Amino acid sequence: TTEPDKVLPTIRSRTHHYPFRLIPPNAMRALLESNCAAEGISVEPAVFPLVIRAGGGSARDTQSVLDQLLAGAGDDGVTYRRAVALLGVTDATLLDDLVDGLAADDAAAVFGTVQKLIEAGHDPRRFAADLLDRLRDLVLLRAVPDAAAKGLIAAPDDELARMTAQAGRIGPATLTRYAEIVHNGLIEMRGATSPRLLVELLCARMLLPATDDASVLQRMERLERRANLGQRQVVESPAKSATPQKSTVDSHRVGSTTVSTVDSQPSPRPPVDAPPVEETVAAQAKEPAIEPATEKAPASELTTSTDTVDAVGIRRVFAELLSAVRKHSRSVEAMMSSATVASVVGNEVTFTHPAAPLVRRLSEQRNTDTVADALHAVFDGQWKVRWEHGEAPASDSAATSPSATSPSATSPSTASPATASPAQEPGQSTREPSTRAAATAPASSSSTQSSTTSSKTGQPSRTEPTSNAEPVGAQGNPTDQPDPLEVLTKHLGARKLD
């Protein structure tokens, strides 16, 4: 059988399987030539590749195809034109015209070839299959110039010469892309009601590059082919525009382009005061010795980039820092949710956390490395991380808050005399109004009581001091803070063990 996959496994397990391989084209051609010589019938050499390709490597099928051609042969034997007509193979002239049109990006020639194909009565599906075979031969000729001598391609000498010229005009990426488009088009042609339309769409796709990697390589090859013609003119144009002065020639030999620019411009000083050309060239030649020092400047900037980062800067982007930590470890990100940046000394960042067990967990080497990597991703540079147990400093949170300033700092033009705040005593803290407002805010149950409280304290009816002072009171009472272990288990979706 030629389809062993369709045999049941129970039958194959009880039989011997001897797989046969296809006969190579060279051995098949020798067999056909010997058969024709024994029959005494003349066959043109260009007919054998058509018969071998139609047989598909099977000796029985190939001899059956040759037998059909011999039955319809005339007195002059089997000619190439008659074999093409009997086998339904696409004429090589149509394939050459289509490939030449694709190589020249000539849409008129490409679609004109499709029109000739339909008028000649060829099957569009067979034409697409023959075009795919031609593209395969061109790819092999592009990769292996002596593919015909090695038996990789079976074609007449005149057709082989044309294919070699076509492979030289089209790049390998372009040929590969054409072959992929035609292959996909053959799959779409199965059961299609209008094969001609699909062939025309195939040609349109090949003429219009897409945005994939193969099309990008195709565009590069096309630009390289067009640039080969004008490359000599581009190289010679700077030499023609340069002035034929000795100083300019010497400057090009030294490798300095600045000297030629200075010499080409008219000097504003008299020729007597101008320095000699040799001294200028020598001075320009010595300048590259200083360039390595300037190239090391970015390295020094990277080493000192951590000096510009302080605790306030890290607090401002703390959410971004947590996002960077989440990419490495979600558990560390959950444990850091209640942490605060205490200080930054050089490249060492100190964090504080109200839970001592989590401080011990975060102080482990793997967790500190995770936080250091997150700092490197956000701020760049190398960082060291240290964890301490303690509450968040109230002064830092109030200093970073824009509403921590005294309400008396408002503009005099907007404050009325009736609501002006009284002068503070020397020993009175600037936070007392905010603290008093925070203490009276929970006791107010209506807007009337809130306004009465603000009028007693003499402060404007603003809610910023009250909202900003509440965290200070909350931090002062440890019982109001949530348990860090409960926050961690809720974030990770786990439960605590009893």
For strand 340-345 and strand 348-353, is the pairing parallel, antiparallel, or unpaired?
antiparallel
Query: What digits encode the pLDDT tens for the residues 144-200?
Result: 888 888 878 877 778 888 888 988 888 888 899 899 999 998 888 887 778 888 889
Query: What digits encode the pLDDT tens for the residues 411-463?
Result: 433 333 333 343 444 444 444 444 343 334 343 343 334 333 343 344 444 44
CB 386 within 8 A of CB 362: no
**168 token code pair:** 């030289």
CB 54 within 8 A of CB 69: no
pLDDT over 90 percentage in the chain: 9
**433 token code pair:** 């109004």
Query: What domains can you pick out in the chain, each with its CATH number?
Result: 25-216 (1.20.272.10), 243-258+273-295 (no CATH), 305-397 (3.30.300.180)
Q: What angle do CA 194, 198, 201 make, to 5 degrees?
A: 140
Residue whose C-alpha is closest to residue 464's, from 420, 433, 424, 418: 433
d(C-alpha 166, C-alpha 139), whole Å = 10
Task: Tell the residue number behind the tokens 């569009």, with chain if given.
Answer: 124
> Hey, what's the torsion of the CAs at 434, 438, 443, 444, to 10 degrees?
60
d(C-alpha 100, C-alpha 67), whole Å = 35
Residue whose C-alpha is closest to residue 430's, from 408, 410, 455, 414: 408
d(C-alpha 26, C-alpha 148), whole Å = 11
Query: What digits encode the pLDDT tens for the residues 92-115?
Result: 888 999 999 998 889 999 999 999
d(C-alpha 487, C-alpha 482), whole Å = 7
CB 46 within 8 A of CB 153: no
The span from the first CA to the last CA of the chain, in angstroms, equals: 70
pTM of the model: 0.41
Residue whose C-alpha is closest to residue 178's, from 215, 213, 143: 215
Cα of 367 vs its chain's centroid, Å:
32
CB 185 within 8 A of CB 202: yes
d(C-alpha 85, C-alpha 367), whole Å = 78
For residue 202, count other CB atoms closer than 10 A to its CB.
24
**3-state secondary structure string, the chain?**
CCCHHHCCHHHHCCCCCCCCCCCCHHHHHHHHHHHHHHHCCCECCCHHHHHHHHHCCCHHHHHHHHHHHHHCCECCEECHHHHHHHHCCCCHHHHHHHHHHHHCCCHHHHHHHHHHHHHCCCCHHHHHHHHHHHHHHHHHHHHCCCCCCCCCCCCCHHHHHHHHHHHHHCCHHHHHHHHHHHHHHHHHCCCCCCHHHHHHHHHHHHHCCCCCHHHHHHHHHHHHHHHHHHHHHHHHHHHHHCCCCHHHHHHHHHCCHHHHHHHHCCCCCCCCCCCCHHHHHHHHHHHHHHHHHHHCHHHHHHHCHHHHCCHHHHHHCHHHHHHHHHHHCHHHHHHHHHCEEEEEECCEEEEEECCHHHHHHHCCHHHHHHHHHHHHHHHCCCCEEEEEECCCCHHHHHHHCCCCCCHHHCCCCCCCHHHCCCCCCCCCCCCHHHHHHHHHCCCCCCHHHHHHHHHHHCCCCCCHHHHHHHHHHHHHCHHHCCCHHHHHHHHHCCCCCC
Q: Give pLDDT tens digits along the chain (498 positions).
A: 668 888 898 998 898 888 878 888 888 989 999 988 888 888 888 888 889 888 888 889 999 999 988 888 877 888 888 888 888 788 888 899 999 999 888 999 999 999 998 888 888 888 899 999 999 999 999 888 888 888 788 777 788 888 889 888 888 888 998 999 999 988 888 877 788 888 899 899 888 865 566 566 666 766 776 676 555 555 555 544 444 444 443 444 444 443 333 344 444 444 444 444 444 444 444 444 444 444 433 433 333 355 578 888 888 888 888 888 988 888 888 888 888 898 998 889 999 988 888 888 899 998 899 999 888 888 888 889 999 988 765 544 444 444 333 333 334 333 333 333 434 444 444 444 443 433 343 433 433 343 333 433 444 444 444 444 444 444 445 455 667 777 777 777 766 665
Handedness of CA 52, 56, 58, 61 (dihedral sign): negative
